[in-house]
Structure 1
Amino acid sequence: MSETRVNTAIEDIANGRVVIVIDDVDDINEANLVVGAQFASSERINHFATHGRGLVCLCLTRQRAQALRLAQQNATESGLSRPAFLVSIEAREGVGTGISAADRARTIAAAIYSTPEDDALISPGHVFPVVAQDGGVLVRPSSTEAAVDLARLAGINPAAVVCGLIDDEGNPRRGHDLEAFAARHNFAWMTIQDLIRYRAMHDPVCGRTIIGN
């Protein structure tokens, strides 16, 4: 069943659809909407802001973040327990205030497609990048790593946009409320533990990751 959930999520991510990634199915700490960054249109960003209601973040590989020369935001904090947030960014050209869905979509596109020589980004801005640890969920079982792992497994640009799911009272969606939300929007869901098991069984990168760590 967990393998089926991951296969469905990979297929949906490859085809530009949104999936829900859950930290722990038994004791839900966080659930996130996830879409491949290359599919993060203004309509998707608006949907995330309207229905997800959490912080919209751009998840990048360490290699991409380094190529863009993005500085770490929480440089005084270390360890795997905290998200590796980078300085917020904005597209240098083609945006207004930067906060609109269209502006954020343009910034995301600049972040995943531009070259360092393009000098396409400025800081601060309204898009919040976060770096996935090398090794993905096998090293850090979190939504950032799961989102990048899914994009990589789907064969698309290895970057993703995530948004935390917040209910009407301002709390993380859990349990039956989360199930109803997924059904209402027709979103497939999977847990991070599902993805860990899947990668251990099927991902050719897994063996190299374990040896490297």
Structure 2
Amino acid sequence: MSDNMDSDTKGYSENIQRAITALQNDEMILLFDLEGREAETDFTIAAKAVTPADVRWMRKDAGGLMCVALDPDVSEQLGLPFIADIMRDATQRNTSLEKIVEKGGDLKYDSRSSFSIWVNHRDTRTGIPDNDRALTINKLGEIVDRTLNGEDVHFGSEFRTPGHVATLRAAKGLVHERMGQTELSIALAKIAGITPAMVVCEMLDDQNGRALAKDDAKQYGKDHNLVFVEGEEVVEAYDIWLSSQ
């Protein structure tokens, strides 16, 4: 799909069109999942677009965990596992892990998590400063892009684990299988025609330490000229996008 698609002919809402334009312009948006699920708003931006200043912005104004959501097919090609599967395998050597490994029904908001491995790019030093994390995030976006372009890439030659950037493996069916920010952000990337590697970082409340209330997140978006998108809007747009493929 062209990055300069004519959104008006797609039937997308005005808000989704604004989000698409922002992502295509390498800008940050705010993404809310769903009431009754996590009910959280995440800073969301394309991995390839992230700068050290963006990492600092998310660290200071969002405050949650910085993760990179990855396309499910590319994750499979790169051999990226779910961390829960790694831990289940590890219980064969360390039985004390059995009681702490995620099981079906453990999560109050979902059937399972999307966490894969935590990585640093091999060109980083410690991996945690803003410039190091930005580099790792950029390189994750690049390796997804190269994989989609048919290049034979070797993940381990560029990244090491453990590291300081969490990767998330999106569900195969995206929002039709799971409604996390992982799947919502990748669905948005596909709609926008950008590389499906997206940074998500939860917004937390400085006063009570909980997830920032939706109305407060919306106000932050207005104050900082950021598009605020709800998960239900993304699902509707994704269905329109799918029907056009």
Q: What TM-score range do you get, normalising by the shorter chain?
A: 0.7 to 0.9
Partner of 1:127: 165
**Counterpart AA for 1:104:** R
1:4 Cα deviation from its structure 2 partner: 1.6
**TM alignment of 1:163-174, pairs within 5 A:** 163-169=201-207, 170-174=209-213
The answer to whether the 8 A contact 1:28-1:175 is kept is no
Q: Is 1:112 aligned with 2:150?
A: no
Question: Which of these residues, 91, 94, 102, is aligned with residue 131 of structure 2?
Answer: 102
- List per-residue Cα deviations over 1:3-48 (Å, max 9, x = no partner): 2211111111111111111123698711111001110111111111
1-structure distance, mates of 2:203, 2:158: 30
Does the residue aligned with 1:89 lie in a helix, a strand or coil? strand
1-structure distance, mates of 2:69, 2:160: 17
Question: Which of these residues, 210, 215, 230, is aligned with residue 191 of structure 1?
Answer: 230
The answer to whether the 8 A contact 1:151-1:158 is kept is yes
Q: Can you give the 5+ residue segments of structure 2 that lack an aligned partner in the other structure? A: 1-11, 89-101, 105-109, 144-152
Q: Is 1:136 aligned with 2:165?
A: no
RMSD: 2.4
Does the residue aligned with 1:180 lie in a helix, a strand or coil? helix
1:83 Cα deviation from its structure 2 partner: 2.1
Partner of 1:210: none
**TM alignment of 1:14-163, pairs within 5 A:** 14-24=24-34, 29-75=39-85, 76=88, 77=102, 81-93=111-123, 95-114=124-143, 115-116=153-154, 119-163=157-201
Does the residue aligned with 2:120 lie in a helix, a strand or coil? strand
**Counterpart AA for 2:234:** L
1-structure distance, mates of 2:182, 2:83: 16
1:198 Cα deviation from its structure 2 partner: 1.8
Per the alignment, do residues 195 and 74 of structure 1 end up closer, same or farther by CA in structure 2, a change over 3 Å counting?
same
2-structure distance, mates of 1:140, 1:89: 24
- List per-residue Cα deviations over 1:115-173 (Å, max 9, x = no partner): 21771000000000001112211221121101111111111111100000001121111
Q: Is 1:5 aligned with 2:5?
A: no
Aligned identity (percent) is 25
What's the TM-score once normalised by structure 2's chain length? Answer: 0.76
The answer to whether the 8 A contact 2:191-2:237 is kept is no
2-structure distance, mates of 1:89, 1:173: 27
1-structure distance, mates of 2:201, 2:214: 18
1:72 Cα deviation from its structure 2 partner: 2.2
2-structure distance, mates of 1:135, 1:163: 22
Does the residue aligned with 1:13 lie in a helix, a strand or coil? helix
The structure with the larger Rg is 2
Count of aligned residue pairs for this structure pair? 205
Per the alignment, do residues 27 and 63 of structure 1 end up closer, same or farther by CA in structure 2, a change over 3 Å counting?
closer
What's the TM-score once normalised by structure 1's chain length? Answer: 0.87
Partner of 2:92: none
1:201 Cα deviation from its structure 2 partner: 3.1
1:63 Cα deviation from its structure 2 partner: 2.3
2-structure distance, mates of 1:193, 1:177: 19
Q: Can you give the 5+ residue segments of structure 1 that lack an aligned partner in the other structure? A: 207-213
